[in-house]
Amino acid sequence: MKAKQEKYRYQIDLDNREVEPPKREELKEKRKVILITGILSIILLAIIIYTLPLTILSWKGLIVYASIVSLVIFLFILLIRYFSILFLAYFYITRYTVKKHGNYSPFVSIIVPVYNEGITLKNSIESLLKLDYKDYEIIIVNDGSTDDSKELSESLVGYQDGVHNKIKISLINKPNSGKAKALNAGIQYSDAEFVLCMDGDSILSPVTLKNSIRHFVDQNVGAVAGNVKIQNRKKWLTDLQALEYVQGLNLARSAQAHIRMVNIIPGPIGIFRKEALQDAGYYSSDTFAEDADITLKILSLGWKIEYEPNSWALTEAPVTIHQLLKQRYRWTRGILQAIRKHKKHLYNPTLNFNNTLVLWGMFYESLIWPAMNIFANLFFIFVAIFNDMSSLIFYWWLGIALLDFMSAIYCVAVEKEEFRLVPWAIVYRMVFVLLIDITKTMALVEEFLGIKMEWGKLERVGIQNG
């Protein structure tokens, strides 16, 4: 009887409830975009034609006046955005510092989806065997790799030495069908109440499980987001990304955690209550950001999502601008697809008011803010060149630089990061963020025009576990 049960344990019926992505009426969407932009253009032109004869300002005076008003409005919005995030993050870190946690250590399954991760897999598994936690297992899901990932995974199967005891490592081999379905296979194979989902190249800190799992004492918590950090540093591009993760991503995640509404559980490290995943219908394959989609689905069902800053995952960052822009292009389109998929919560806050707030925040960060930042930079540079306002633009950039320095120092201090990242704040704001925002805007346009894109994969060079 035992042999029969063991036989059926390896026969997994995958529960992918959204195998076919929702059909898009692309022609209708394009017509809608053209109609809306046309109407807005006509309205704007009518306002200009009507108000222009009423003004006594010269063209140059009008441009100067408009630039000053625009600069003030932009700085006002920027200040509200900065200090709202900083205050909420400060409140969360303060609460986190003084809050006491009980001893809670249930059995956990760690799901490691693998697709051509032969260069990084060994280091990832070694980091998992060093976790300061007793009751867990590792499930590797080989998603049809074409390199040596399958052979390497097979060599790891069995019971391996952990920090406290032997750790079981299992392997699922399946045809290639994407990360979402690979994660689903591991989750549904697991008998654990809690699962940790990660990337095949992630290297986890030893205290990851111990710190994260304690949040689940609260039965309303459906998931815990971890802290993602860049390991392959010492290059200007990867250092900028390291600062971005600390200042641009983790700071916002801390602020969201204060109200327990983290909007994206990062792919490199996320811990889930299995019940929450089952309620949400597991991961879906119909967006390019399955992590954003599953987060929104869990939030829409009323679950709370926490953030654990001391559970970090080291990941490999793109080392060329081309790879970086491809990555951010995919992220942006994936987030837009997730927003589109859950758009009913944008229009109807009575369904789930918290989810509406989260979606509008994502909508603002993905659509409105990048366009504002690009416009502000181009507009003020134009004004400075043609209207002799270079001193005003200097003070504008100086103010933003001071804000970035203040934010960078705070974030580096809180996370005990390398202080050498702080001076990069100038390049980060003036060059890096603008480049990313341009990429986001292009992704926005192409997403709404329905231009097809491929998934793509970051070319790994391998990082050492240490």
Do 310 and 370 sit in the same domain of this protein? yes
- 105 or 457: whose pLDDT is higher? 105
- 17 or 274: whose pLDDT is higher? 274
Average pLDDT over residues 9-18: 53
Domain annotation covers residue 117: no
- 465 or 242: whose pLDDT is higher? 242
Do 89 and 47 sit in the same domain of this protein? no
Q: Residue 77: its pLDDT value, please?
A: 78
Average pLDDT over residues 11-34: 61
Give the span between the Cα atoms of 404 and 244, in whole angstroms: 11
Task: Please give the model's pTM, rounded to 2 decimal places.
Answer: 0.81
Domain annotation covers residue 132: no
**Do 410 and 86 meet the contact criterion of CB atoms below 8 Å apart?**
yes
Return the residue matching tokens 């986190």: 96
Q: Residue 140: its pLDDT value, please?
A: 94
Over residues 99-149, the pLDDT tens digits come to: 776 678 899 999 999 998 888 888 899 999 999 999 999 999 999 888 888
Q: Are strands 158-161 and 166-174 parallel, antiparallel or unpaired?
A: antiparallel
Domain annotation covers residue 378: yes
Strand partners, 313: 204, 228
Do 88 and 32 sit in the same domain of this protein? no
Domain annotation covers residue 250: yes
Do 35 and 95 sit in the same domain of this protein? no
Give the span between the Cα atoms of 351 and 452, in whole angstroms: 31
Strands of 166-174's sheet in order across: 158-161, 166-174, 136-143, 108-114, 194-198, 269-273, 221-230, 304-315, 203-204
Domain annotation covers residue 168: no
Domain annotation covers residue 394: yes
Return the residue matching tokens 């659509």: 367
Q: Residue 360: its pLDDT value, please?
A: 86
Do 69 and 53 sit in the same domain of this protein? no
Do 422 and 372 sit in the same domain of this protein? yes
Do 95 and 43 sit in the same domain of this protein? no
The SS3 of residue 313 is: strand
CA dihedral 169, 281, 270, 123 (to 10 degrees): 30
Element holding 111 (H helix, E strand): strand 108-114
Cα atoms found within 13 Å of the Cα of residue 321, Cβ hemisphere only: 7
Contacts of 284 (CB under 8 A, 6+ apart): 16, 17, 18, 180, 290, 293, 294, 297
Over residues 247-258, the pLDDT tens digits come to: 888 888 998 888
Give the span between the Cα atoms of 10 and 18, in whole angstroms: 23
Burial track 62-95 (b if 16+ CB lie within 10 A, e otherwise): ebbeebeebbeebeeebeeebeebbebbbebbee
Contacts of 182 (CB under 8 A, 6+ apart): 113, 114, 115, 141, 143, 174
Domain annotation covers residue 193: no
Q: Which of 36, 57, 78 is the last residue of a domain?
A: 57
Q: Which residue range(s) make up the domain with 235?
A: 63-100+218-466
Domain count, the chain: 2
Do 335 and 369 sit in the same domain of this protein? yes
Phi-psi region at 144: left, alpha or beta (left = phi > 0; alpha = psi -120 to 50): left
**Do 415 and 309 meet the contact criterion of CB atoms below 8 Å apart?**
yes
Do 366 and 333 sit in the same domain of this protein? yes
Do 415 and 370 sit in the same domain of this protein? yes
Q: Indicate the range of 24-38, 49-63, 192-206, 417-431 predicted with least confidence.
A: 49-63
Do 71 and 53 sit in the same domain of this protein? no
**Do 198 and 268 meet the contact criterion of CB atoms below 8 Å apart?**
yes
Domain annotation covers residue 154: no
Do 226 and 242 sit in the same domain of this protein? yes
